[in-house]
Amino acid sequence: MLTVVWDVDDVLNDLMYQWFVYAWLPEHSNCRTTYAGLTCNPPHDVLGVERSEYLSSMDNFRRTERACKMAPNSEVLAWFREQGHGFRHVALTARPLETAPDVAHWVMLHFGAWIRCFGVVPTRMDEGVPVYDRNKGEYLSWLGRGDVLVDDSTDNIVQAESLGMKTLQAAQPWNNSKLTISALLRQLSQMAGES
Band (pLDDT 50/70/90 cuts) for residue 1 is very high
Could you tell me which CATH number the domain at 3-14+71-194 has? 3.40.50.1000
Cα–Cα dist 10/6, whole Å: 10
Predicted pLDDT of residue 195:
62
For the segment 94-117, the average pLDDT, to the nearest whole number, is: 96
Which pLDDT tens digit goes with each residue over 54-77? 999 999 999 999 999 999 999 999
Its pTM stands at 0.95
Band (pLDDT 50/70/90 cuts) for residue 39 is very high
Q: By CB neighbour count within 10 A (0-12 exposed, 13-18 middle, 19+ buried), where does 167 fall?
A: middle
Which pLDDT tens digit goes with each residue over 111-147? 999 999 999 999 988 888 899 999 999 999 999 999 9
**Torsion angle, CA of 22/59/156/179, rounded to 10 degrees?**
-10
Length reported for the chain = 195
Q: Which helix (H) or strand (E) holds 57?
A: helix 51-62
In the chain, domain spans: 3-14+71-194, 15-68
Which pLDDT tens digit goes with each residue over 143-162? 999 999 999 999 999 999 99
